[in-house]
Chains A and B, each alone.
Chain A
Amino acid sequence: MNLESWVTTFIVYAMPFYLAAFAIYMVRLVKGPTVPDMVIAVDALSYDLAAFLVLLGILFRAPIMIPCAIVLVLWVYALDIYVAKYFEAGEIGE
């Protein structure tokens, strides 16, 4: 078995586990009794999605996936800060 098919096979077998984890996160995102529960579900979902995007970039030989992952991580941090600011001060901005 050469290296290319070994890497491709590994990533293909890793995909269902990631998709199962995303599905369970989506359950908490829809059910979440309070807004902070939904926010941390989105956090965990997006951080894992960033790792999954890098793996997909190796699988599809598509380096354009890397900037997508970086931007996703930065926006989720912005979501955290916005929600925290909203809970503490009751408004966005200032």
Chain B
Amino acid sequence: MSSLIDWILVVIGQVLVAIGIFCDLAAAILMLRLPNFFTRLHALTVGSVGGAFVPLIGAALIAAGCDFLGPYRWFMTGGAIVTAIIEYVLAGAGTHAIARAVYRARAAPLKPLVVDRIAEDRGGEEGASG
């Protein structure tokens, strides 16, 4: 019975890790192909939530099902969950901070640009930030 629960935990964890691998490869290709910094932020979000948070939860479930890890089994489960939560909170905060700073400092080109609501609210022309 305990072996069956272990197998269920491991298989669910492996499905999550497989989703994470897909998101990771997609984020890497997007990071290479998207045209400017502000669109590459989307690739960073895919890579940090889909490519790191989801496989960390999956690794926690795999570790919870692996009795061959011995006494460190629950340490690895808890550590993976703590890493996942820290990563989930800090990735969003850091991305917002760097996006705001880069927009205000005009450190990256805005083209190609579809809409710029901040410049419109300030009455400036489209594409001129600050």
Question: Are A34 and B37 also in contact (CB < 8 A) when A50-B56, A88-B104 are?
Answer: yes
Q: Are A76 and B94 neighbours in the complex by a CB distance under 8 Å?
A: yes
**A81 x B51 contact (CB < 8 A):** no
CB–CB B43/A84 < 8 A: no
Task: Determine the distance from Cα of A27 to Cα of B28 in the docked complex, in whole angstroms.
Answer: 10
Contact partner, B27, options A39, A44, A69, A80, Cβ 8 Å: A44
Give the distance in Å from the alpha carbon of A22 to the alpha carbon of B51 in the complex. Answer: 12
Of listed B27, B47, B65, residue having the most chain A CB within 10 A: B47
Interface string of A3-40 (1 = CB under 8 A from B): 11011001000100110111011011000001111011
Chain B 1-47 residues near chain A, CB threshold 8 A? 3, 6-7, 10, 14, 17-18, 20-21, 24-25, 27-29, 31-32, 37, 40-41, 43-44, 47
For A, the interface residue count at a CB cutoff of 8 angstroms equals: 50
Partner of B3, one of A3, A14, A47: A3
Tally of chain B residues near chain A (CB < 8 A): 60
Nearest chain A residue, comparing its CB with the CB of B26: A21
Quick one: closest B residue to A76, CB to CB?
A: B94
Chain A residues with CB under 8 A of B51:
21, 44, 47-48, 51
* Chain B 91-121 interface 0/1 with A at a Cβ cutoff of 8 Å (1 = within): 1011101101110110111000000000000
